[in-house]
C-alpha cells in the first residue's frame, strides 16, 4: 500500500496537475500587479501551519471600511442621498420645513446651499430622518429604499455600485478562515439590512456609527426607539475604539480608502506578526471618479503619505483592477 501511495504521489509531482485540477484564480478581477501579490503572499503566510507567521483561524480578523472601499461614495455618501430622499418623503408631514434651513433649500433641490451649513446642517438632516421610529420601522425604511433608489449617475441600485475586486477579496479571505468585518463611519443600522446579501457579512460583523436607542413597552410589546442623539461616531480615532469595543481583538488585516481609515490601519499594523494594510486609491476617472488629497468626500491625504512611509499596499484602481463594478464583468 505504501509503495502504491508513493508512486501515486510521484506521478502527481512529475506530471503535475492538469489545468482543470489547478485552483482557479481567487482574484480574477485583479491584475497581476503588486497589490494582488501582496494579498496572496499575506494570506499564504498567515494560513500555512508551518510558517512562522501562522495565525489560528479564530484570530484571522479582517476589517473593511465601507464607503469608497467596498462601494462607491460619489457624488456624496450614499447614506446622505438616502437622508435627502427621506426629507422629500417626510416633507408633507413637516410643512414648517418649507421655511426652515437646511430643509427649505433641500426641498427646492439646492443641495449645495442646504449643506453649506456644514456639520450642524447635516446633523439636522440625519436626526430628522433617522430618529423617532422603532428599530424595526427603520429597518423596513432602509430595505425599501435600497430596493427602489437609483444612483444619480449610473441609474443602478446602490447595492450594485460595489467593487467587484473587493467582493472577490472578501470571499477569498473567508475561504481562508478569515472573519470579515465592516468598520464604517456610516450608520450601522443603515448597513445591516443589506450587507449579508451584498457582501456576505452578517449583521453582527458590521460596526458603524450609531444613535442612541431606548427600550420601551408599547401595548405590552418591547420595542427599541431610535433617539435623536449621537451614540458613537465610528470614524478616524473612533475606528480602533469601535473595533476594540465590538471585536475585542486586534485585526490582522485592514482595508480603507480615506484619512478616516488611518487610525484603523495604524491600530491593525501595530500588532506583532504578519499584518496587511491596504488603501484603495481612486485613480480611475473613466470607470469611476478620480479623487484623493483635496476631495471633500473621502479625502485621502495623510493616509497616502503614511502608506508610502510605512510600505502599506496602495491599490491604483485604474491599473490594478480589471473591473470596478460587477455589471462591468458580465
SS3 19: helix
For its own copies, which is the closer residue by CB, 110 or 137?
Answer: 137
Binding site for its own copies (CB under 8 A): 58, 135, 179, 188-189, 192, 196, 202-204, 206, 210, 213-215, 217, 221-222, 224, 231, 237-238, 240-241, 244-249, 263, 266-267, 270
Q: How many CA atoms lie within 13 A of 300 on its CB side?
A: 24
The C-alpha atoms of residue 256 and residue 235 are separated, in whole angstroms, by 11
For its own copies, which is the closer residue by CB, 49 or 248?
Answer: 248
Using the structure block, give the residue that is written with the C-alpha cell 462591468.
328
For its own copies, which is the closer residue by CB, 26 or 177?
Answer: 177
Give yes or no for a contact between 87 and 97, defined as CB atoms under 8 angstroms apart: yes
Q: How far is the CB of 5 from its own copies (least distance, A)?
A: 26
Q: How far is the CB of 99 from its own copies (least distance, A)?
A: 36
Q: How many CA atoms lie within 13 A of 73 on its CB side?
A: 24
Q: How far is the CB of 90 from its own copies (least distance, A)?
A: 24
Q: How far is the CB of 143 from its own copies (least distance, A)?
A: 14
The C-alpha atoms of residue 107 and residue 98 are separated, in whole angstroms, by 7
For its own copies, which is the closer residue by CB, 59 or 85?
Answer: 59
Give yes or no for a contact between 255 and 62, defined as CB atoms under 8 angstroms apart: yes
For its own copies, which is the closer residue by CB, 16 or 271?
Answer: 271
For its own copies, which is the closer residue by CB, 263 or 283?
Answer: 263
Q: How far is the CB of 322 from its own copies (least distance, A)?
A: 32
The C-alpha atoms of residue 149 and residue 246 are separated, in whole angstroms, by 31
The C-alpha atoms of residue 113 and residue 82 are separated, in whole angstroms, by 18
**Paired strand residues for 248:** none
Q: How far is the CB of 224 from its own copies (least distance, A)?
A: 6
Amino acid at each position: 500500500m505504501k509503495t502504491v501511495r508513493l508512486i501515486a504521489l510521484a506521478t502527481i509531482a512529475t506530471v503535475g496537475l492538469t489545468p482543470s485540477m489547478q485552483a482557479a484564480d481567487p482574484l480574477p478581477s485583479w491584475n497581476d500587479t503588486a497589490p494582488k501579490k501582496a494579498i496572496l503572499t499575506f494570506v499564504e503566510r498567515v494560513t500555512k501551519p508551518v510558517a512562522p507567521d501562522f495565525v489560528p483561524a479564530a484570530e484571522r480578523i479582517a476589517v473593511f471600511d465601507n464607503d469608497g472601499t467596498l462601494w462607491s461614495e460619489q457624488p456624496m455618501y450614499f447614506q446622505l442621498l438616502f437622508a435627502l430622499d427621506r426629507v422629500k418623503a417626510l416633507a408633507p408631514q413637516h410643512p414648517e420645513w418649507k421655511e426652515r434651513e437646511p430643509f427649505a433649500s433641500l426641498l427646492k433641490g439646492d443641495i449645495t446651499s442646504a449643506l453649506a451649513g456644514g456639520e450642524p446642517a447635516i446633523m439636522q438632516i440625519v436626526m430628522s430622518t433617522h430618529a423617532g421610529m422603532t428599530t424595526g420601522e427603520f429597518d423596513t425604511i432602509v430595505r425599501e429604499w435600497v430596493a427602489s433608489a437609483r444612483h444619480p449617475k449610473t441609474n443602478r441600485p446602490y447595492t450594485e455600485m460595489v467593487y467587484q475586486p473587493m467582493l472577490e477579496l472578501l470571499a477569498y479571505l473567508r475561504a481562508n478562515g478569515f472573519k470579515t468585518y465592516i468598520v464604517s463611519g456610516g450608520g450601522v443600522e443603515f448597513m445591516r439590512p443589506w450587507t449579508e446579501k451584498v457582501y456576505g457579512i452578517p449583521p453582527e460583523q458590521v460596526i458603524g456609527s450609531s444613535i442612541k436607542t431606548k427600550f420601551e413597552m408599547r401595548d405590552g410589546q418591547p420595542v427599541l426607539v431610535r433617539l435623536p442623539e449621537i451614540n458613537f461616531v465610528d470614524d478616524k480615532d473612533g475606528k480602533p475604539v469601535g473595533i476594540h469595543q465590538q471585536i475585542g481583538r486586534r485585526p490582522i488585516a485592514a482595508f480603507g480608502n480615506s484619512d478616516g481609515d488611518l487610525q484603523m490601519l495604524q491600530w491593525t499594523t501595530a500588532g506583532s506578526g504578519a499584518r496587511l494594510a491596504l488603501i484603495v486609491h481612486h485613480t480611475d476617472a473613466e470607470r469611476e471618479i478620480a479623487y484623493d488629497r483635496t476631495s471633500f468626500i473621502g479625502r485621502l491625504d495623510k493616509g497616502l503619505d503614511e502608506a508610502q512611509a510605512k510600505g502599506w499596499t496602495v491599490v491604483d484602481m485604474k491599473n490594478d483592477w480589471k473591473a470596478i463594478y460587477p455589471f462591468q464583468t458580465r
